Amino acid sequence: MGNIDLTTGKPWHVILQFSLPLLGAFILQQLYNTADMLVLGHYVGQEALSAVGASGNYLGVFITIATGLASGVTVCVGNAYGARQIDKTRKYIFSSLLLQLFIGIAVSIIGILIAKPILSHIVLLPSSLMADATLYVNVYMAGFVFQMAYNTVAGILRGLGDSKSSLHFLALASVVNILLDVLFVGCFKWGVIGVALATTAAQLLCATISLRYLFRNYSRYTTFGLRGQWRGIFKVGGMAYRMGSLARTSLPLMLQAFMLYVGFMLLQRTVNSFGTDMTASYAVVTKLDRYIMAPLIVVFDAMAAFASQNMGARRWDRIKMGLGQMRWVALAIAGIFCVIGLIMMPIAVRWFEMNEVATSYAIQNLTWSSIDLFLYALYCPITGCCLGLKQTMVPLIVSFVELTGRNVFARLLAPAIGSSCIWLCEPPAWGVVIAGVWIYYYASVRPSIVQKL
């Protein structure tokens, strides 16, 4: 087991140590859809690539419901684990697994039923792309419960201080996904349905091995020696309390995810209004910019785990110190990956074999995404810290403001600067968000931490 005790050692050091496996796992997770699009672009063409890419924001609504629940699970499990409460940790683990099963099945059904009307009337997907996009979404959502299971187990492991195991699971699943992509699309010529089936098979594998690992390697938290303890897990009052605690922590994050991708779908309408070249370019951008943002996204997750464990251990001094140190670390990371993005993204865009107009759009967009990393660096540590302290309304409000601002600024800028509004709408939106979250921290969160020191 690769547990890291986040309640001891230099805060910035243990946070970065915890973050590195998360970074590897996050990048591997992004390879799923990137591999799908690369294979489609090479073997099928730009239209199939656009169909899968344009459906990404719709699927993102459901994917981030899974990651939102996982973040809530990390906080609840991490809080109990940091307090060294074994029985409470055990019960939160089982409650999380049951909750994800119910939500996963419900979300799969809903995602399939509403796919076509949402893609047609909200995203305004061109009719030429509708058949492929709907087919991809339906097959993907049929296996969504497997993704839900994996993300929940990953959240549990993060709460237990284990950020390495998920990297191994995803490494195997990513290799399987890429091989099946080539087999189904390159050899069998199944097109869009081939990449969807490959992704579903890889997610099933990932869910299976991660659950097996959790039960075999953390038996202290997943087995019950007495019959009475088994009854206690399902006791109505106890279950209701734990479900409520998980829901209170996770629901704002799920709503955040919902608003995030509703905002992206609305922005997709503006993107589509500039033609199919812009649609194709934006599909590629939404995949590639996740790679340069990855180190800061995992800083958010690591800060949430760090704050939750130290809150359980009542190490308020470490929370304050860790946030102070990670502000500067995040800015340094942003500087490094801004340079990497400016150099590498123009090269990576050409791998997707789009035409020159779409390629030009994508390069301009990704250039600004690289520069925007400095703004994102000011956002991730503080918001992750607030999440770990169970201030879950902060990410929710922040996302609402940022996405509203992004869409408003895009519409306002469009008449003056045309298609450039797609990437120039982000800096002013992030500026408003960052000012708000830091004001909230110094006005409300920090004083409460100081009082407890």
Given a cut of 60, whether residue 157 has pLDDT beyond it is: yes
Contact 82, 308 (CB under 8 A): yes
Q: 331: buried, middle or exposed (CB in 10 Å: 19+, 13-18, 0-12)?
A: middle
Residue 156 above 60 pLDDT?
Answer: yes
Average pLDDT, the chain: 83
> What was the pLDDT predicted at 237?
46
pLDDT for residue 24? 85
In single-letter form, the type of residue at position 23 comes to: L
The predicted model gives 411-433 an average pLDDT of 81
Looking at per-residue pLDDT, the higher value among 21 and 399 belongs to: 21
Both structure tokens of 238:
């106890």
**6 phi/psi in degrees, rounded to 5:** -80, 0
| 303, pLDDT greater than 50 | yes
Question: Averaged over 373-378, what is the pLDDT?
Answer: 91
Confidence of residue 425 (pLDDT cuts 50, 70, 90): confident
- Stretch 99-128: mean pLDDT, rounded? 86
> pLDDT band at 453, cuts 50/70/90?
low
Spatial neighbors of 390 by CB under 8 A, at least 6 apart, are 75, 79, 249, 308, 311
What is the structure's pLDDT at 95?
82
pLDDT (mean) for 243-257: 68
pLDDT at 231: 52
Token code pair at residue 203: 């997610």
- State the DSSP string of 121-181: IIS---HHHHHHHHHHHHHHHHTHHHHHHHHHHHHHHHHTTB-SHHHHHHHHHHHHHHHHH
197-215 mean pLDDT: 91
Averaged pLDDT, 420-445: 83
Long-range contacts of 323-328 (CB under 8 A, 24+ apart): 323/381, 323/382, 323/385, 325/11, 325/12, 325/15, 326/11, 326/12, 326/15, 326/299, 326/381, 327/378, 327/381, 327/382
Quick one: tokens of 278? 């812009």
Give the pLDDT confidence score for residue 2 in this predicted structure.
Answer: 60
- The yes-or-no verdict on residue 53 having pLDDT over 80 is no
Torsion-angle region of residue 45: left (phi > 0), alpha (psi -120 to 50) or beta?
left
Cα(194)–Cα(179) distance, rounded to whole angstroms? 11
Mean pLDDT of 380-402: 79
- pLDDT per residue as tens digits for the range 56-94: 778 877 887 888 888 888 888 888 888 888 888 888 888
DSSP 304-345: HHHHHHHHHTT-HHHHHHHHHHHHHHHHHHHHHHHHHHHHHH
Determine whether 336 is exposed, middle or buried from the number of CB atoms within 10 Å of its CB (0-12, 13-18, 19+).
Answer: exposed
- pLDDT tens-digit series, residues 168-183: 888 888 889 889 988 9
Which comes out higher in pLDDT, residue 41 or 101? 101
Q: Count Cβ atoms within 10 A of the Cβ of residue 251 and give its class: 0-12 exposed, 13-18 middle, 19 or more buried.
A: middle
Q: What is the pLDDT of residue 238?
A: 55
State the Cα–Cα distance between residues 443 and 439, nearest whole angstrom. 6
Judge whether 401 and 259 are in contact, CB under 8 Å. no
Predicted confidence band of residue 239 (pLDDT cuts 50, 70, 90)? low
The confidence score (pLDDT) of residue 225 equals 46
From 174, 147, 126, select the one nearest 275 (Cα to Cα): 126
Q: Mind listing the pLDDT tens digit for each residue in 317-346?
A: 899 899 999 999 999 999 999 999 999 989
Query: How many angstroms separate the CA atoms of 358 and 27, rounded?
Result: 24
| Distance from C-alpha of 199 to C-alpha of 314, rounded to nearest angstrom | 42
Per-residue pLDDT, averaged over 125-141, amounts to: 87
Residue 165, both tokens: 């195991």
**Ranked by mean pLDDT, which of 246-255, 276-285, 306-315 comes out on top?**
306-315
Q: Is the pLDDT of residue 229 over 80?
A: no
